[in-house]
Amino acid sequence: MKLNKISRLLPLTAIAMAGCATNSYQGDIDSGKFVQAKPADAAGTKVVREYIPVPMPGQLRPVPNSKAEKAAQKPVLTKEAAVAEANKDAQQFPDQSDFFNAMMTYSYMPGAMYTIYTAPLNITDVVFELGEKIISQAAGDTLRWQIASTYSGEGKDLRWHILIKPQKSDLTNSMIITTNKRTYHLILKSVDQDQAMVSVKWQYPSAMVQGFNGGNLGDMNASDGDSKLLPPPQQDGGLDLSLSNMNFNYNWSMLKGDTPKWYPEQIFSSGHQTFIKFPHEVVVSNATMPVPFVQSNDGEYGTANFNWRMKGDYMVIDTVIKNAYLKVGTKQSGETVVEISQK
Q: What is the DSSP string of 221-287?
A: H--TTT-SSPPPSPTT-S----GGG-B--EEEEEEESSPPTT--SEEEE-SS-EEEE--HHHHTTTP
Listed by start position, the domains of the chain span 78-221, 243-342
Q: Find, among 144, 140, 181, 184, the residue nearest to 162 by Cα.
A: 184
Q: Find, among 52, 56, 53, the residue nearest to 90 by Cα.
A: 56
For residue 65, pLDDT over 70 is answered with no
pLDDT on residue 222: 40
pLDDT on residue 214: 44
Q: Which of 59-63, 79-83, 199-203, 329-333 has the lowest mean pLDDT?
A: 59-63
Q: Find, among 238, 226, 221, 258, the residue nearest to 315 by Cα.
A: 238
Please state whether beta strands 134-139 and 172-179 pair in parallel, antiparallel, or not at all (unpaired): antiparallel
Angle at 100 between CA 95 and CA 106, to 5 degrees: 45
Confidence of residue 154 (pLDDT cuts 50, 70, 90): confident
Average pLDDT value for residue range 84-99: 81
CATH class of the structural domain 78-221:
mainly beta
pLDDT tens-digit series, residues 111-121: 889 999 999 99
The contacts found for 330-338 with CB under 8 angstroms, 24 or more apart, are 334/257, 335/256, 335/257, 336/256, 336/257, 336/258, 336/260, 336/290, 337/254, 337/255, 337/256, 337/257, 338/252, 338/253, 338/254, 338/255, 338/260, 338/263, 338/264, 338/290
For residue 86, pLDDT over 70 is answered with yes
Q: Are 155 and 228 in contact (CB under 8 A)?
A: no
Q: Higher model confidence: residue 296 or residue 263?
A: 263
For residue 70, pLDDT over 90 is answered with no
Q: Does domain 243-342 have CATH number 2.60.40.2500?
A: yes
Three-state DSSP class for residue 71: helix
pLDDT tens-digit series, residues 24-41: 555 555 555 666 666 666
Q: Are 308 and 318 in contact (CB under 8 A)?
A: yes
Percent of the chain with pLDDT over 70: 68
Fold agreement between 78-221 and 243-342: yes
Three-state DSSP class for residue 179: strand
Q: Which of 86-95, 145-154, 217-226 has the lowest mean pLDDT?
A: 217-226
Confidence of residue 170 (pLDDT cuts 50, 70, 90): very high
For residue 190, pLDDT over 90 is answered with yes
Distance CA 158, CA 104 (A): 20
pLDDT on residue 120: 92
pLDDT on residue 254: 95
pLDDT tens-digit series, residues 232-277: 444 345 566 777 788 999 999 999 999 999 999 999 998 889 999 9
